[in-house]
A and B are shown apart, each in its own frame.
Chain A
C-alpha cells in the first residue's frame, strides 16, 4: 500500500523552513527520501533504517518513528535549489530486497 505524504504541495520563500511527512499503514524496515526536479530523474537524499538515528545532510534532515510508521523530512533555511518534488520510499520489514513503495510526492516550490 502506497505511503501517504503531506502536504501535497508547499510554497516557500528563500530562508523559510518546511516539513514533509510520510506515513505508512504497514510496519517499515526503512524509509528513503528522494528529490526529483522537473524533467530529471529522482536523486537520493538519505535512508533511515529501523533502529537508526535521525540523519542530516547539510540543511536537510529526517527522522523515522518506527512505532508510528512515520518519517519526516526537515528542510531548514530553504534555498532555490531545494525546489522539486520530494518522494519517500518505504521498505517493509523482512526480506532481502530493494522493493521500494513510493509515496505520492510533495511538490516544493521555493521563491526568491
Chain B
C-alpha cells in the first residue's frame, strides 16, 4: 500500500498570506490528524477528521482550519500567516474507527517557511 502523501513538500510564504496544505491518507484509512512540529514546541495536535467531520481540535487559533473530503483526503488552511507559523506540518492517517484506537502513520510533512 502506498503511504501517506503530503503536498507540497516545501513552501515559502510571506506574512499575511494564506496557505493550503494537502494530505492523502493510506487507502482505507478514514481518520486524518494534523500536527505542527517546531523545535521549541515539539509535536502539537491541530485537529482530527473522521468521515468528513472534525472530531477533535487542539489549542490553535481560528486561523488554522481544515476539512476532509468523501475520499478521506484532507486539507488544512492557515490564513493571515505569521512568522511563528513556520514549521513542519505533519499529517497522519489511522484505521481507528468510532470505538477503537489505532496506530498513526505519518506523511513526510510540508515544511512551511513564513518570511
Contacts and interface: CB of A to CB of B under 8 A. Distances in A.
Query: Is the pairing of A and B real?
Result: yes
Interface residues of A, number: 26
Interface stretch (A18-26, A38-46, A59-67, A72-80): A38-46
Interface residues of B, number: 27
Interface string A69-103: 00000000000000000010101000111111111
B66 interface: no
A29 to B, nearest CB: 7
Contact of A98 (B43, B44, B101, B109): B101
Given A41-B108, A99-B56, A47 B101 contact: yes
A47 B84 CA distance: 32
A97 B108 CA distance: 23
Interface of A: 2, 29-30, 32, 34, 40-44, 47, 49, 87, 89, 91, 95-105
